Amino acid sequence: MFRNMAEQLKLMQRLMQDDNFKAFMGHPKVQDLFKDPQIQQAMKSKNADLVMNHPKMMALRNDPELAQIISKLNFKDLM
């Protein structure tokens, strides 16, 4: 359990140091999404499919402005 928590903490530290990740997370559309009660409930379920397939999440992924930011994220380096 503690090993998993330590790995998650390290991942969060790497993510928060990445300028592209910070730009994505700080974007007003992303911030609004995380305030949405339906998204909050889906996230609490810890069901990644439910979150990623939610219509509001799908709309966010298809947003041209955010797609440009997402394309700059290098998940292999971050993980």
Greater pLDDT, 32 or 9: 32
Q: How far apart are CA 50 and CA 44, in angstroms?
A: 10
Backbone angles phi, psi at 63, to 5 degrees: -70, 125
SS3 content of the chain, % helix, strand, coil (to 5): 80, 0, 20
Question: Strand, coil or helix: what is 37?
Answer: helix
Write the pLDDT tens digit of every residue in 60-69. 888 999 989 8
Q: What percent of the chain has pLDDT over 90?
A: 20
Say if residue 18's pLDDT is above 80: yes
